[in-house]
Chains A and B, each alone.
Chain A
């Protein structure tokens, strides 16, 4: 038969067809296998069940290595949504004693949460009670796709120091976004050292990689566990807090609002830090956490507000030592310079009242008697000394910078979250407020006695006291004195020196000693121990004066420096001095001397009444 050459050419069409198809397929294969990484992930999420192994969170001990915070197992109900075939939700609800709508709502929440995936374990219910856990464990075979994950929650040996210890909470969506370590449902520290030392405490999560077949059955461990990552326990924390002292100070503050901060001057270690009213840290554990948190947040006495480091108060007369230091350093006064006081500072139609004492008087007696006039005159002499500084504004900047070096006006850097910076105005502030050049010392005279715009936290006041106790240096106050297997952060060890010659601190310390021996805080005197102190009575636009005290002891070689601030409690001597001296005595001698028992009882039992205060802005 004759070949039809015209038809023979059709072999090219057929060949071209198959070549084109093969070309399309190869392009598709390239796209699937090389271009698109999602398939790799899908295959991995199919085959590998990554089970998180949670590390044990670091424990927290107090100064005497007494265990304060430890871990307790809790059981979370986990689901892998994809595997929830034929899920009998009614049976499930009966087993766990929950209502069906609640469960549905929980499922809906889960699907909305950022880390949701149908292929990975999701936390359905957290922290089962042990009865529920037992019941579910028995029936678990009926619910494919459901498993129980052991988790760790915190438990506390004390009901104090919630402001220092903090607590843990489930991570928020923002936490997950911010830190890749977290997955939805993880816990993270909230408030206190739980938050500030989170990275030490949390340890390192481990992972178990299990092989799962198409029916969800576990077929073994991937590479016999060679790729598993063991969990690394968190580091234990040793607090500088003396828990017994803390509890004692808290008991003295019952019924009052305010703060007590005690520091070991040589180390900057905080011995106790009370914010009153406080709350039991155990309230924020377990399934009731949400409810209790809401209750605390709505309490008008603000228990969640750590007054010791978040509360910014007018420091009142406890501020006067800083003024003495600055005036001496700037050669405005000498230790002998005396200013007159005729029941106050009277200048240019301005009068700042004072009480009865000798006049004129130099610095030390001024501290002893807490003379307002002395510090007003001194302040005026400095701020208005154009010959030295050029202008009031420039003088004021010098003044402000000294205070900043002493730890005022900025966060001190304590190792706890939420610290307030207090407030020290600068010249620009007054330039704006009064217009440039339209203000002078007299305009702002009240800052010299710790009133006016000046705000400080009790922690800053305590730190000033520690600096005086050390005669001129301090270490940033901190509550963690030791981290297991880790060095302390440098901020907790570095010595900071204010821009004041140490010799001037001696003058101030002597003045504070005189205040105890024969001045405003005679009630602070302890038998056999030389105490130095300074009272403060801070005027307060919202009500009765705040009662403040700072002091340290022993006078030589001090072991404790303390600041007490009691809201709306009147004179510094009425509440601040007794509470401060009792805490110091308790710390130094371990007990209260018989002569002072009455004072102790009075402090333990007295209760101040507070009207519903308006919330101060932070």
Chain B
């Protein structure tokens, strides 16, 4: 890297040459596809032209135009300014978030929209950028290291949590949750992977245990069954990570594989009716015990981690299940509604069902542009905003859904690549913030419309209708592109 930099130093850094055109291309593709999808989603049989300013698609084109101007101006700003003004921007944003609920109109219970004439904007969307800048600024401090002292953690977490609290006060749970994505950044910057891992496991186990209770696999709720399978896979992988000598890994893997093989043979040849619960518990329990035994025998404490993971995961799963079943049905219902896991039939449950129907009915190549019945006839709610992916899935089919998925994958991986090539901590941390937001939005939004995630109302970046979301992400992305384009400048 260093040698390369030296050799390039002879050449004048050029904004145009160092600009990441690939990301810009992805951005343009996604925004364009977004407008077309919005047009399709809000298309009415009677009327419609793409450019009609009264239509969502027309309005979105206006938003995109303004976003383009915004992006252009961002490119003119000296990238050092972002770092310099990160803290004031953050503070101003927090104040704005604080006063928003008092001046905002109540829209469906949410007090997050501030009107400017005919336009309204959500400060919460812009807070993403401010928070990213503030976090990057924190990490770029002289010899800052997250693990150096506890107060560094507190400061980092405070930066993340403050906007969350303020946005929760606006009753925008979904948007508030997106800031949780920044824990990916903390992970990248040194936070123990176990914390992130434990958090992800806890959320996943909780949602699975509560959500997938309708069907059963081998005599136990399918959610719990798949958690057990996942735990078995995870402890094997973890053993592989923490134990370099293959002996223990081999024993664990062979043990679990033998149990699976035996179960398969029993059911296939002898038609034995298997009970997943005792088999799974037994397998995982014996594995954990074996790992503890090996840890004690060889003194490799690292082996206790997979053992602990297994015990804690399964324990957590059953305590969630037990606690949940202990509740009254209406309380269970309430929790499910709050988590967006389930809703009253007219609400999210209906929505997700219809969105699954929309996507599922698309088939391989889709019903064709403007031919989606689910969306045209308004079966899918919020189809131009949070559920925009339905229109793509229905009209463009698996091919369209696959393309959109790949566009997001490409952009996220590209941003990770950009992040890692930043010479400054500020640039790197900021880039990871952008990547984290995109990961979170992508996972939750698409997970929601295909019925895998709780219904958390957040938009699909660049696709969903809405100025705030589009502008927020445009600003996020173009600040990154500006910082990236200036990466070869000599730092003064």
> Could you say which interface size class chain B belongs to?
35 or more
Q: Closest B-chain residue to A30, C-beta based?
A: B398
Q: Would A10 and B452 count as touching, CB distance under 8 A?
A: no
Q: Which of B378, B401, B435 contacts A29 (CB 8 A)?
A: B401
The CA-CA distance from A312 to B427 in the complex, in Å, is 101
- Tell me which residues from 349 to 405 in chain B have a Cβ below 8 Å from any Cβ of chain A: 354, 356-364, 373-374, 376-379, 393-394, 397-398, 401-402, 405
B420 in contact (CB, < 8 A): yes
Known A-B contacts A19-B409, A213-B378; the reply to A11 vs B188 at CB < 8 A is yes
Q: Pick the contact of A18 from B362, B364, B379, B412 — CB < 8 Å? A: B412
The answer for the CA separation of A17 and B193 in the assembled complex, in Å, is 12
Q: Is B413 at the interface (CB under 8 A from chain A)?
A: yes
Task: Give the dominant DSSP class at B's interface.
Answer: helix
Q: How far is the CA of A11 from the CA of B398 in the complex (A)?
A: 29
Dominant SS at the A interface? helix
Given contacts A14-B184, A34-B364, contact A25 B446 (CB under 8 A): yes
The residues of B that contact A212 with a CB separation of less than 8 Å are: 377
Q: Is the CB of A34 within 8 A of B363?
A: yes
Is A588 in the interface zone, CB < 8 Å from B? no
Contact B357 A211 (CB under 8 A): no
Distance, CA A211 to CA B447, complexed state (A): 30
**A24 contacts which chain B residues (CB < 8 A)?**
452
For A84, list chain B residues within 8 Å (CB). Answer: none
Contact partners of A219 in chain B: CB under 8 A: 45, 377
Say which one of A37-45, A329-337, A449-457 lies at the interface with B.
A37-45
**Please, which residues of chain B bring their CB within 8 A of the CB of A29?**
359, 393, 398, 401-402, 405, 450
The CA-CA distance from A46 to B377 in the complex, in Å, is 9
Q: Which residues of A contact B402 (CB under 8 A)?
A: 26, 29
Indicate if A113 sits at the interface (CB-CB under 8 A).
no
Interface membership of A102, Cβ < 8 A: no
Contact B357 A46 (CB under 8 A): yes
Query: Is the Cβ of A11 less than 8 Å from the Cβ of B362?
Result: no
Does residue A599 face the partner (Cβ distance < 8 Å to B)?
Answer: no
A38, closest chain B residue (CB): B360
Asked if B361 and A44 make an inter-chain contact with CB atoms under 8 angstroms apart, the answer reads yes
Q: Are A13 and B361 in contact (CB under 8 A)?
A: no
Residues of A within 8 A of B452 (CB): 24-25, 28
Known: A7-B190, A40-B361. A33 touches B419 (CB 8 A): no
In the assembled complex, B171 has its CB within 8 A of some CB on chain A: no
CA distance A213 to B452 in the complex (A): 26
Q: Assess the A14–B435 pair: CB atoms within 8 A.
A: yes
Count how many pairs of residues, one from A and one from B, have CB atoms less than 8 Å apart in the complex. Answer: 126
Q: Are B416 and A33 in contact (CB under 8 A)?
A: no
Looking at A15, A29, A213, the one whose CB has the most chain B CB atoms below 10 A away is A29
Given A14-B187, A19-B409, does the pair A43, B361 have CB atoms closer than 8 Å? yes
Give the Cβ gap from B279 to chain A, nearest Cβ, in Å.
25
Q: For B189, what are the chain A residues with a Cβ–Cβ distance below 8 Å?
A: 7
Closest chain B CB from A448 CB (angstroms):
65
**Is B217 at the interface (CB under 8 A from chain A)?**
no
| B413→A18 contact, CB < 8 A | yes
Q: Which residue of A lies closest to B185 (CB)?
A: A14
**Most chain B C-beta atoms within 10 Å of own C-beta, residue among A39, A211, A212:** A39
Q: Are A39 and B450 in contact (CB under 8 A)?
A: no
In the complex the two chains form, is A21's CB within 8 Å of B188's CB?
A: no
Find A33's partner among B187, B188, B393 (CB 8 Å cutoff): B393
Q: Interface centre among B187, B377, B402, B420, by most A CB within 10 Å?
A: B377
User: Which A-chain residue is minimally distant from B350 (CB atoms)?
Assistant: A214
Contact in complex: A211, B373 (CB < 8 Å): yes
Instruction: Kindly state whether residue B425 has any CB partner on chain A within 8 Å.
Output: yes
Closest approach, in angstroms, between the C-beta of A233 and any C-beta of chain B? Answer: 32
**CB distance B450 to A32 under 8 Å?**
yes
Judged by a CB distance under 8 angstroms, whether B138 is at the interface is: no
- Asked if B134 is at the interface (CB within 8 A of a chain A CB), the reply is no
Q: Does B133 contact A (CB under 8 A)?
A: no
Is A47 engaged at the interface, CB distance under 8 Å to the other chain? yes
B220 interface contact, C-beta 8 A: no
1/0 contact trace for B405-437 toward A, CB 8 Å?
100110011001001100011000000100100
Cα–Cα distance between A48 and B189 once the two chains are bound (Å):
55
The complex places the Cα of A46 from the Cα of B397 at a distance, in Å, of 18
Please tell me if A22 contacts chain B, counting CB pairs below 8 Å. yes
Q: Which residues of chain B are within 8 angstroms of A15 by Cβ–Cβ distance? A: 413, 416
B443 within 8 A of partner (CB): yes
Minimum Cβ distance to chain B for residue A31 (Å): 9
Q: Write out, one digit per residue, whether chain B residues 197-211 have a CB within 8 A of any chain A CB (1) or not (0).
A: 000000000000000
Chain A residues within an 8 Å CB radius of B359? 29, 32-33, 39
Which residues B432-473 have CB closer than 8 A to chain A?
432, 435, 439, 442-443, 446-447, 450-452
Q: Which residues of B contact A48 (CB under 8 A)?
A: 373
Minimum distance in angstroms from B32 CB to a CB of chain A: 22
Q: In the docked arrangement, what's the CA distance between A38 and B376, Å?
A: 20
User: Are B184 and A47 within 8 A (Cβ)?
Assistant: no
Residues A43 and B358 in contact, CB atoms below 8 Å apart = yes
A sample of 16 cross-chain residue pairs with beta-carbon separation below 8 angstroms, ordered by A number, consists of A11-B420, A13-B193, A14-B435, A18-B413, A22-B405, A29-B401, A29-B450, A40-B363, A42-B361, A46-B354, A46-B357, A47-B373, A211-B377, A214-B379, A215-B378, A219-B45
User: Taking beta carbons and an 8 Å cutoff, which residues of B are in contact with A?
Assistant: 45, 143, 184, 187-190, 193, 354, 356-364, 373-374, 376-379, 393-394, 397-398, 401-402, 405, 408-409, 412-413, 416, 419-420, 424-425, 432, 435, 439, 442-443, 446-447, 450-452
Seen from chain A, the residues whose Cβ lies within 8 Å of a Cβ on chain B are 1, 4, 7-8, 10-11, 13-15, 17-19, 21-22, 24-26, 28-30, 32-34, 36, 38-40, 42-44, 46-48, 211-215, 219-220
Q: What 17 additional pairs, Cβ within 8 angstroms, besides A29-B405, A214-B378?
A: A7-B188, A10-B188, A11-B420, A13-B187, A13-B193, A14-B184, A18-B442, A25-B452, A33-B397, A36-B360, A39-B357, A39-B361, A40-B363, A43-B379, A44-B361, A213-B379, A219-B45
